[in-house]
Structure 1
Amino acid sequence: MNNKTLVGSTIGTTLDRFINKKQSEFPFATGELSQLLRDIALAGKIINVEINKSGLLDIAGAYGTTNVQGEEQQKLDVIANIRFIRALKNGGQVCAIVSEEDDEIVEINQDSNYVVAMDPLDGSSNIDVNVSIGTIFSIYRRVSPNGSPVSREDVLQKGQKQVAAGYILYGSSTMMVYTTGHGVNGFTYEQSLGEFVLSHPDITCPNDGSIYSVNEGSYFSFEKGVQQYIEYCKEQRYSARYIGSLVSDFHRNMFKGGIYIYPRTDKALNGKLRLVYECNALAFIAEQAGGVATDGEQRIMDLDPLELHQRTQLFIGSKKMVEKAESFL
């Protein structure tokens, strides 16, 4: 490529233009889902700014309260939750939100058609040490009549009912990765333009890999089958990679080929990760990229959610690696 070509080269397709182009994939859509994705992207931009300021302002560290799971809330957990709820409320496309940071359903607008389930800031305790963190979201169409009060059936749908899901990764660069059931695409935030730009089209997860991600500090509280699979990984000379930030670990393995495991333990008999707003979203993305997500026995997106903050085991990543792990269980 000569210098003149370089000077005139395009930076790429913006998220807004990409969404408009893909809107025809939804025969029932009237632009509402497209606007909702834009609202989520806008909130992600705002949180990106907050995170980048966290070392300069007093917005890192613990907030002093716990959420419904009994976990200590970080200041940025609270800030991110407020920013997302405000953006979705102002956008007008959402009837209800399920958030990790709220005990109950957050009702927004009875006349809207979509439900958003989200973890506003996963891995936020890593902010103090400048480790990558992320936002996870999934989108459903409500099942109750438009204009009626939001029901639990609207927010407790199986993962297979998702119309879109994604995550925003705040790392060395900020990326938004999402699917609407037609493949997975990644967009990198270009700060000088203030736009997400298509940087990773048609993302595919390798069918096999050599990375395993699990908190081995809890090894002796894992079930025997999980312990045996970890020993198998070591025998195969696989690389152990564990950041402790779900979005970051999943993102790496989806690109490089690997498996992420968060099994049940003596202290968390049902597992620790949340089905409705963490596992379902990542399972949808994994499957659309060619990967697999299970609870060790059953496909994640086939599980029946019975509670807003229901927990589950998670085995997710490259197809062959997940299948091999299941064979030990």
Structure 2
Amino acid sequence: MSEQVTLTQFIIEQQRGLPDASGTFTLLLNNLVTACKQISHRVNRGALIGVLGSAETENVQGEVQKKLDIITHEIMVKALDWSGHVGGMASEEIDDPIQIPKQYPKGKYLVLFDPLDGSSNIDINLTVGTIFSILRGREGVAPETEDFLRKGNEQVCAGFVLYGPSTMLVLTTGNGVNGFTLDQDIGEFILTHCNMKIPEDNTEFAINMSNQRFWEAPVKQYIDECVAGEDGPRGKNFNMRWVASLVADVYRILNRGGVFLYPYDLRDPSRPGKLRLMYEANPMAFIIEQAGGVCTTGRESILDIKPKNIHQRVPFIFGSKNEVERVISYHRQHDSAGN
């Protein structure tokens, strides 16, 4: 690019159009980005600095933690708690919301994050990332859990950072989606993907086929039609893609289109989904819909769900508009038939 635009410049120029903008939000994003640069450095160095492998502990979800799960959580907290821009935080790795230490002022934003999404892939050098969601809170007030339990359509910002062949930040503040690539030479994120849009049609799907026996009939119908290819009712061939890293699958769909399904399954009625609503599904849904895609549980828009708890799980289906709407229609037909 002949004239490079840094992330800071991009955000400041956007805020100039808002008469009541104070610059606080820009400073908050800068702190988040600094944390992600630190995480990128540790992920890239991996075994060289001894941060790979299991920590031999479990998080609140009962998942075995990697060393980097703990390290990245601490990096995010330390980057934000002192700043005066944040009133409280919530993390995948901690049961309850994180309070700001008494010696620091409490800001007007609440930040929720998954510090290292896809961490099960880290030891085999596959793509991982950081996901974050920002809500507006009550300035100067220590938040209660209820302050975090807001619908996804109340987010003021959502983003994720992808630690792959290059480190990339994908961001929305409710005015489209833009992608920034970290220039390691100067330590700045540079705008490289302007106004990202998801194609309305595509012939790729992403799903964990090993769970097929637990799916509901609407999902089985959709996947069976895709697998049948040009000999089936769709009359065209589909390709399957599955990285088992949400950030990687979302980024692929942002660039190429397609549909991702981690649907409700029947094995455990008390666990209606795999992915967490507050710091995985909500921020990704905000990004996907700002890029022209659709996000649903199959029966309800992700962004319309009123959360019940910080670590609530939901089915998550998203991607190209026409494909996701087809999946929704299959759920509707199934339910109206009384199945």
Tell me which interval the TM-score lies in, with the shorter structure as reference length.
over 0.9
CA contact under 8 A between 2:286 and 2:303: conserved in structure 1?
yes
Tell me which residue corresponds to 2:273: 271
Would the aligned equivalents of 1:116 and 1:137 in 2 still touch at CA under 8 Å?
Answer: yes
Partner in structure 1 of residue 136 of structure 2: 141
Q: Which residue of 1 aligns with 2:198?
A: 205
Q: Give the C-alpha shift of residue 268 in structure 1.
A: 4.5
Change (3 A) 1:61 1:268: farther
- 8 A Cα contact 1:274 1:310, kept in partner: yes
Identify unmatched segments of 5+ residues in structure 2.
229-235, 332-339
Mapped contact 1:110–1:148 kept (Cα < 8 A): no
Preserved contact between residue 84 and residue 105 of structure 2 (Cα < 8 Å): no
Match of 1:298 in 2: 300
Q: CA–CA distance in 2 between the matches of 1:119 and 1:81?
A: 8
Question: Which one of 115, 119, 124 corresponds to residue 129 of structure 1?
Answer: 124
Aligned to 1:169: 162
Quote the residue 1:96 is aligned against. 88
User: Which of 212, 222, 238 is the aligned partner of 1:219?
Assistant: 212
Aligned to 1:285: 287
Which residue, 6, 28, 31 being the options, matches 2:23?
31
Match of 2:233 in 1: none
Are 1:243 and 2:243 an aligned pair?
A: yes
- Classify 1:67/1:104 alpha carbon distance in 2 versus 1 (closer, same or farther; 3 Å): same
Alignment check: 8 A CA contact 1:110 1:150 kept:
no
Choose the corresponding residue for 2:145, options 140, 152, 157: 152
Tell me by how many angstroms 1:107 deviates: 1.1
The TM-score with structure 1 as length reference comes to: 0.94
Deviation, structure 1 residue 211: 0.9
The root-mean-square deviation of aligned C-alpha atoms, in Å, is 1.3
Residue 195 of structure 1: which of 185, 188, 201 is its match? 188
More displaced 10-residue stretch of structure 1: 149-158 or 211-220: 149-158
Distance 1:148 1:134 in 2: 31
Q: Does 1:309 align with 2:311?
A: yes
CA distance in 2, matches of 1:112, 1:22: 21
Assess, with a 3 A threshold, how the Cα gap between structure 1 residues 90 and 257 changes in structure 2: closer, same or farther. Answer: same
Asked if residue 262 in structure 1 is aligned to residue 262 in structure 2, the reply is yes
Q: After superposition, what is the alpha-carbon deviation per residue over 1:268-325, rounded to whole angstroms, capped at 9, x for unaligned?
A: 5411100000000001001110001011111101000010100000011111010011
Among all aligned residue pairs of Structure 1 and Structure 2, give the percentage whose two residues are the same amino acid: 43
What amino acid is the match of 2:214?
S
Q: How many residues align?
A: 319
Alpha-carbon offset, residue 11 of structure 1: 5.6
Helix, strand or coil: the match of 2:288? Answer: helix
Amino acid at match of 1:152: T
CA displacement at 1:51 relative to structure 2? 0.3
Q: CA deviation at 1:234?
A: 1.6
TM-score (norm 2): 0.91
CA distance in 1, matches of 2:64, 2:89: 21
Alpha-carbon displacement from aligned partner over 1:54-111 (angstroms, at most 9, x marks no partner): 1212211111111111111111011110001111123321111110001100011563
Output the CA distance in 2 between the equivalents of 1:25 and 1:115: 23
Aligned residues of 1:189 and 1:195 also touching (Cα < 8 A): yes
Contact preservation (8 Å) 1:98, 1:106: yes
Secondary structure in 1 aligned to 2:48? coil
- Is the contact between residue 87 and residue 141 of structure 2 (CA under 8 Å) also seen in structure 1? no
Secondary structure of 1:90's counterpart equals coil
The aligned residue for residue 5 of structure 1 is none
Q: Secondary structure of the equivalent of 2:82?
A: helix
Q: How far is the alpha carbon of 1:125 from its aligned partner?
A: 1.1
Q: Which stretches of structure 1, 4 residues or more, deviate above 6 A after TM superposition? A: none
Change over 3 Å in CA distance of 1:309–1:27 after alignment to 2: farther
Going from structure 1 to structure 2, the CA distance change for 1:231 and 1:25 (only over 3 Å counts) comes to farther
Q: Does the C-alpha gap of structure 1 residues 28 and 64 become closer, same or farther in structure 2, counting only changes over 3 Å?
A: farther
* Corresponding residue to 2:322 among 298, 311, 320: 320
The equivalent of 2:41 in structure 1 is 49
Counterpart amino acid of residue 137 in structure 1: F
Unaligned runs of 5+ in 1: 1-8
**1:58 counterpart residue number:** 50
Q: Distance in 1 between matches of 2:128 and 2:108?
A: 30
Cα deviation, residue 326, structure 1: 1.3
